Structure formats: C-alpha cells, structure tokens
Amino acid sequence: MKTILLILSLVVITSCNRNEESREETNDLVGRWSLMSLHPGLGQPHAYDNGDIIWTFNSDNTIDVTLLVTPLNNLLPLNQNGSYSYNIISDDSLSVDSRDYKYEFEDQVLRLLDNPESDGKTIIFQKIEN
C-alpha cells in the first residue's frame, strides 16, 4: 500500500512541475512581437521594419496577426490579418496554426525554427510589449 501511495505522490508532483513550466513558457510568449526578419533556409533573408508585421500571442492560445505591409513572399506563415491558434507542445516546441516549430528565447528575441535540421526557415521577432 505504501508503494502505491508513493508512486501516486510522485506522479502528482511530476505533473505539477510540468504544468508550471508550461505556464512559464506561455507567460514568456504572451505579448506583442514585431517580425524582424524571415530567413528561408538557403534563400535570401527578408528584413522588416519594426511594427510592419505584429503577432500578438494571447494567454488564450490565440495569435492576432496585424500586417501593415504585404509580406515579401508566401513563406511567412500567418501572412494575412486575422486570429490564429497556437499551442505549447514542449519546452522548446510549439504549434502555430497546426504547424510545428522549435522556438527559442534570447533576451527579448523570439526565434521560430521550421525544420532547422534541414536548413528550414527561421522567423525572428522582437518583443515590443507584454
């Protein structure tokens, strides 16, 4: 009986930690992000001015996209104004409108990596507001 109780306790404690980590990652992500550049793998990178394209990650797992310019090509996901969904998959990956990306934070910079192991595209954002 003690063994079963110990196992159940460990499962509960482990589950709590995972939820807290997920919330922390979501909190880092929530806010307004300005697209700074799109690096399409081996292609020519495209730079954008601050505020031209804004992705607002909301705490309800939606992204509001605001485009003040037309994206330079169709490689940019969510390339139309609107509301889209996202989900945190793990501590280094997320799904944006049903497309999986690796992601990384450094200071106030967010990088979304699409198939980085095969020279996929990298999308770089600068946080402009929480």
CATH number listed for the domain at residues 2-129: 2.40.128.280
Task: Decide: helix, strand or coil at residue 3.
Answer: helix
Task: Decide: helix, strand or coil at residue 118.
Answer: helix
CA 57 to chain centroid: 8
Distance, in Å, from the CA atom of 111 to the CA atom of 38, rounded to the nearest integer, reads: 10
Question: pLDDT 10s per residue in the chain (130 long)?
Answer: 656 555 655 555 555 544 444 444 557 899 999 999 999 888 889 999 999 999 999 999 999 999 999 887 677 889 899 999 999 999 999 999 999 999 999 999 999 999 877 778 999 999 997 7
